[in-house]
Structure 1
Amino acid sequence: MQPLKYLGAYSDQTLAQVTQLIEQNKLGDVLKQRYPAAHDVRTDRALYDYVQDLKSEFLRNADPINKVAFDGKLHVIQHALGLHTTISRVQGNKLKSKHEIRVATVFKDAPIEFLRMIAVHELAHVKEKQHGKAFYKLCCYMEPNYHQYEFDLRLYLTELDISGKRLWNAT
């Protein structure tokens, strides 16, 4: 069996439970039971609107997000579920920055909870650049189930690695 590369930071007990589900070929079933359907955010525009709604609810005073898109070039293998970039440009005597959020296209066919976790994570980078205590506190403020969704998303990536097939189909 392959190592559980997406779950390396979890306890031995947790890894044993996941390994047991994998050996019984039940990991995908557990995830499908927990998250029965894929979201309906199908286009870059719909993704932009979804992220903007989250931003306006939780980060009203944060810098604007200029672009949000699904990105087929993001590879989960490089541990990039999404990507937040800041592009700085000089305009006259001012330095202007633009924030962009990109989400790996593999999450077009995933539950809304996974998309929300990624969007919250990338939005948190607008305020907190580094993954620290303040960063994760902000993530949990925007999504109280952030850590559970992140864990389940890692389980899904593990299942995807093992089976090679997506659990949810586009609606």
Structure 2
Amino acid sequence: MTTPLKFLQHYSPTLQDKIRQMQAQGLLGEYIKQRYPQQHSIQTDKALYQYSNEIKQAFIRNAPPLDKVHYDSKLGIEHHALGLNTAISRVQGVKLKAKKEIRISSFFKQSPAEFLRMIVVHELAHLKERDHDKAFYQLCQHMEPNYHQLEFDCRVYLLWKNEATDGSE
């Protein structure tokens, strides 16, 4: 039995074998570049906030407002988190105010545009659905109909980038 591929262990063995073959032939990068030739231009926290808010307003207007969206250089593959959605509660007088914050790994500054959208959609969905359940993924697909394919391809991209940086796997 072969070892499951990092980032792809929840996919079928057949699919993993196809990716493993591509990896052995050095074709992962070519696969990604062919499917996703465009990098995005969203490089600042301000632009990321605006981008995220536009998606939120288009699909989940009644979700709590976003107080902050920014790139975080501390999030990455090695921390098993590419994005985080947090609510920071503060007492203001007699009220408890929750500030909604989304942090996206700085890794996505240099990614294809579609992968940034996928991770933003994923974190926005957490504003309404906390768990990774059926309702959560339905909401992700509502905001991005190609969500599942993008998530898979993003995992292939992570495998390729991880392979390039540490030479293993």
Per-residue CA deviations over 1:118-150 (Å, capped at 9, x if unaligned) read 000000011111111111111010000011000
Q: TM-score normalized by structure 2?
A: 0.94
Per-residue CA deviations over 1:12-45 (Å, capped at 9, x if unaligned) read 1000000000011111101100001211101111
Where does 1:21-170 land on structure 2 (aligned, <5 Å)? Answer: 21-164=22-165
C-alpha change, 1:156 and 1:2, in structure 2 (3 Å) is farther
Q: Aligned equivalents of 2:39 and 2:165: distance in 1? A: 17
Q: 1:5 maps to which residue?
A: 6
Q: Aligned equivalents of 2:76 and 2:112: distance in 1? A: 19
C-alpha change, 1:3 and 1:10, in structure 2 (3 Å) is closer
Q: How many residues align?
A: 165
| Letter aligned with residue 92 of structure 2 | Q
Provide the aligned C-alpha RMSD in A: 1.5
> Post-superposition, which runs of at least 4 consecutive aligned residues in structure 1 deviate over 3 A?
none
Per-residue CA deviations over 1:71-93 (Å, capped at 9, x if unaligned) read 00112222211111000111122
State the percentage of identical aligned residues: 54
Report the 3-state secondary structure (helix = DSSP H, G, I; strand = E; otherwise coil) of the residue aligned with 1:38.
Answer: coil
Q: Aligned equivalents of 2:76 and 2:153: distance in 1? A: 18
Q: Aligned equivalents of 2:30 and 2:9: distance in 1? A: 22
**Residue segments in structure 1 that go unaligned for 5+ positions in a row:** 166-171
